Amino acid sequence: MAFGDYPAEYNPKVHGPYDPARYYGKPDTPFGELKVGEVSGWLARRNKHPQAIAAACSRAFWRWQHKYVQPKRAGIAPFFHVLFGAMAFFYIINYGRTKQHRNYKYHW
């Protein structure tokens, strides 16, 4: 599969128009329906190739786009998602600098 091609599992005669938010591979048990003993087998069945991880991130992005950004009457939710995501990202990358400025009740 080259960059920008359809997934190998996609068949336009069977699936109809292509949807970038849909997984066209063999369906598996959803994570929420697993029992604790089945989690290791479920994780072992995942494709851990970087291309598969990128495809999963792309599908998640398109699901987010279809749900929050592209409806006719999209609200302010996508703006707040990006805002809070940026706040969390910058907090994490600056945590090493800001942890030095903690105020303790008792000083040693």
Domain segments of the chain as ranges: 12-73
* Rounded Cα distance, 15 and 97, in Å: 51
With H, G, I as helix, E, B as strand and everything else as coil, classify residue 106.
Answer: coil
Q: Which residues contact 25 (CB under 8 A, 6 or more apart)?
A: 7, 9
3-state secondary structure labels for all residues of 79-93: HHHHHHHHHHHHHHH
Q: What is the pLDDT of residue 80?
A: 97
pLDDT for res 32: 93
* Residue 16 confidence (pLDDT): 92
Asked if 7 and 25 touch (Cβ cutoff 8 Å), the reply is yes
At 44 the pLDDT is 94
pLDDT in tens, the chain (108 residues): 577 788 888 999 999 999 999 999 889 999 999 999 999 999 999 999 998 899 899 999 999 999 999 999 989 999 999 999 999 999 999 998 888 777 777 665
